[in-house]
Amino acid sequence: MPAPTPAPYLAAAVQFEPVLGDVEGNMEALLRLCEEAAAAGAKLIVLPEMATTGYCWQDREEVAPIVEPIPGPTTEAFTAFCARHDCWVVVGMPEVVEDSTVYYNSAALIGPEGVAGIYRKTHAFISEPKWAKDGDLGLPVFETPLGRIGIAICMDAAYPETTRIPALRGADIIAFPTNWLSEKAPSPSWWARAVESGVYLIAANRYGVERGVQFDGGSCIIEPDGAIHASLDTGDGVVLARVDVARARHKQPEGCPVNLLAARQTGAYGTLTLNTHLWNPLEFHGLYGHRPLPEGRVSRVAAAQFEPRGGNAGGNLAAIAAALAGNPGIDLLVTPEYSLSGRPATPEQAAAWAEPVPGPATEALTAIAGATGAHVVAGLIERDGKDLYDTVVLVGPSGPVGMYRAVHLDDAAAAWATPGREFPTFDIPAGRIGLLAGTDALFPEAGRALALAGADAIAVAAGLPWPGVRPWGATAIPMPPHIEAGATEDHFHLLRERSRENNTYVLYANAPSAGGWSGVFSAGPEDVPREDALVAGDGPGVAVGRIDTTNLAGSRYATNPVRAKDLVRMRMPIWYDPLQAPAGSWVIGAVVDEEEWE
């Protein structure tokens, strides 16, 4: 019988700057901060990554004197604390497996009766391989009186899989000990992990400088709808916020057009457990002479933001032609969802406005493409026999190159449309292009499937009203020169995160009525300025950017980040099977018990 849903309670994220190697002093300070949180009423307290020891260890020999088993002295001290206050603590620490010399970057979940779970960091940052083994416990979820708790550690948040799988297993909360750096925090990556699966994310970060490394602070508690009501920019302290587990179990926050888990389409996710970038992608994607990546080049691209008119193909085509005429030399233009047909309000409208592909609208679009030499991505209602689809087409000067039928349908489209079954890519001079409709952007599986297929760019034809773009204020933490430390209007933009996590360009054309903020998001490395272009706000406009797929001259290896896809290559698909399990299977609601993690 399922456990009852817990009543709302206070949770705490503790921000703390440890002293490298001073376990005793760090423990005293952490327990003081935990006492402060408990005195305020916190029932779940999350501490930073490697909070007891500091982070920047140069090798195994240096860290060896302070690693300890779980359970061990540190967890015993926190067990006593939890017993006194009837609360739970997640603490990040270096772990050694008893009777071995195997070390992990770990987090322990501790309750009044002792250790209730262990998580070992799955996705290593650059420093862990100096001393720690990759985690071997998978992505568990732990049933507690406070709800179902999953854990992710720092770099894990760069990978949607790390929080998606716990969410599929029923997690209400992701406890997130981190030592995040080189970015104004709260990081947009943290935000993405919370909103895409509708979970609370309790982010406990450190701040300060250790061995020349500047950490970001910004500890916070992110709600399932993306709201942040409490955060701490810098300094030691406690962030408190209310957790209502019932909200995390309702997977369609206000304004969200679809249930974030129930609308997944696992039949289309067949490649998500593959690791397609282990080998040189310039060779892998052309293996056996089949579909080598297009020759590298620099292309001028754009995303047009305008309101498609219902049942007015002529007016919509004129808007597309105007976007190209006003920005000559465009190689690839992306336009909003239903940009040819208009968005239907009823199934009857959908049926009336539908047409085949190819058909009158795509023929007219071909003429526009032919006159400008551009390729154009546009959306329409497609009729194929008795079935209707929310379809995105890619049309070039010679006609349709390909089309994509939306796999993830919002609730309105589900009343009349049949979902698509796959995520195809198409090769044009600008590169390998994947196509998505707006609601697909809410599902990390969609962009990931295209990245694994070698997509250089993902063109998203959208009318997506949620989760919206979120501003954030200035930080006092010193940032690298290419990072904006001041207040920003677009600190969190979900489509920018889809670009970052997949090492792809994203061309996002959103309708003004859905909130706008269309843009071209770059795929460069994190240590250089981004080359994004945005239509700020919900007015009409065109964002113009570029796609660069060139390789270093003379190199047989991929030297361009969009082709090398380093972040994608470092995925850990050995743990990703639940992504492909059918809805309603053992995955949904599966919770790891004590025997499994031991």
SS3 for 182-199 is CCCCCCHHHHHHHHCCCC
Greater model confidence, 583 or 224: 224
- Catalytic residue status for 382: no
Question: Residue 584: its pLDDT value, please?
Answer: 58
Residue with tokens 């460069």: 524
**Residue among 264, 148, 360, 215 at smallest CA distance from 582:** 264
**Structure confidence by residue, pLDDT tens digits, 311-339:** 898 999 999 999 999 999 999 999 999 99
- Supply the mean pLDDT for the chain: 95
Q: Which amino acid is at 347?
A: P
Q: What is the mean pLDDT of residues 159-164?
A: 98
Q: What sections of 511-593 are H helices per DSSP?
A: 561-564, 566-569
Rounded to 5 degrees, φ, ψ at 380 are -160, 170
Residue pair 361/369 in contact (Cβ under 8 Å)? The answer is no
Token output for 592: 């790891």
Where do the domains of the chain lie? 10-258+583-597, 298-549
Q: Report the candidate in 503, 577, 563 with the shortest Cα–Cα distance to residue 284.
A: 563
Angle separating helix axes 23-39 and 73-85, nearest 10 degrees: 20
Asked if residue 451 lies in contact with residue 504, where contact means CB atoms within 8 angstroms, the answer is yes
CA-based R_g, the chain, Å: 24
Dist. CA 145–CA 111, nearest whole Å: 10
Domain 10-258+583-597 belongs to what topology?
Answer: Nitrilase/N-carbamoyl-D-aminoacid amidohydrolase (3.60.110)
pLDDT-based confidence at 587, cuts 50/70/90?
very low
Q: How many contiguous H segments (helices) and E segments (strands) does the chain have? A: 16, 28
**pLDDT of 4 higher than 90:** no
Sorting pLDDT into bands at 50, 70 and 90, what band is 598? very low
Mean pLDDT across 576-580: 96
Residue 589: per-residue pLDDT: 45
State the residue for tokens 């007891």.
Answer: 52
Choose the catalytic residue: 17, 49, 95, 497. 49
Residues, the chain: 598
Mean pLDDT throughout 501-514? 98
The answer, yes or no, to whether residue 2 has pLDDT greater than 90, is no
Residue where the block lists tokens 């508690």: 221
Strand order in the sheet with 9-15: 114-120, 103-111, 88-96, 42-46, 9-15, 237-243
How many Cα neighbours within 13 Å face the side chain of 86? 4
pLDDT at 103: 98
Cα maximum dimension of the chain: 75
What percentage of residues in the chain have a pLDDT greater than 70? 96
Supply the angle between the helices 188-195 and 494-502 in degrees, to the nearest 10. 100
**pLDDT (mean) for 129-151:** 98
Fold matches, 10-258+583-597 and 298-549: yes
Exposure b/e, 160-182, CB count within 10 A at least 16 = b: bbbbbbbbbbbbbbbbbbbbbbe
What residues contact residue 72 under an 8 Å CB cut-off, 6+ apart? none
Q: How far is 32 from 15, CA to CA, in rounded Å?
A: 12
The DSSP output letter for 181 is B
Would you call 345 helix, strand, or coil by DSSP? coil
Q: Which CATH architecture has domain 298-549?
A: 4-Layer Sandwich (3.60)
Which residues have CB under 8 Å from 553's CB, separation 6+?
none
Q: Which phi and psi angles does 440 have, rounded to 5°? A: -55, -30
**Residue 585, pLDDT above cutoff 90:** no
Helix (H, G, I), strand (E, B) or coil at 24: helix
Least confident of 21-35, 513-527, 539-553: 513-527
574 φ, ψ to 5°? -55, -25
Report the pLDDT averaged over residues 476-493. Answer: 95
DSSP 346-386: SHHHHHHH-B-SSSHHHHHHHHHHHHHT-EEEEEEEEEETT
| pLDDT band with cut points at 50, 70 and 90 for residue 81 | very high
Q: Tell me the pLDDT band of 3, cut-offs 50, 70 and 90.
A: confident
Catalytic residue status for 154: yes
Note whether 460 and 407 are within 8 A (CB). no
Over range 522-537, report the average pLDDT. 85
Question: DSSP assignment, residue 439?
Answer: G
Query: In terms of pLDDT, which residue wins out, 22 or 583?
Result: 22
Question: Could you give the 3-state DSSP secondary structure of residue 509?
Answer: strand
The answer to whether 121 is a known catalytic residue is yes
* 304 in Cβ contact with 460 (< 8 Å): no
DSSP 8-state class, residue 580: G
Confidence class for position 383, pLDDT limits 50, 70, 90: very high
Exactly one of 154, 183, 223, 445 is catalytic; which is it? Answer: 154
Q: Which residues contact 113 (CB under 8 A, 6 or more apart)?
A: 79, 83
Place of tokens 């030399």: 329
Q: What is the pLDDT of residues 187-208, one digit of tens each?
A: 999 999 999 999 999 999 999 9
Q: Which member of 17, 43, 87, 121 is catalytic?
A: 121
Per residue in 412-453, pLDDT (tens digit) is 999 999 999 999 999 999 999 999 999 999 999 999 999 999
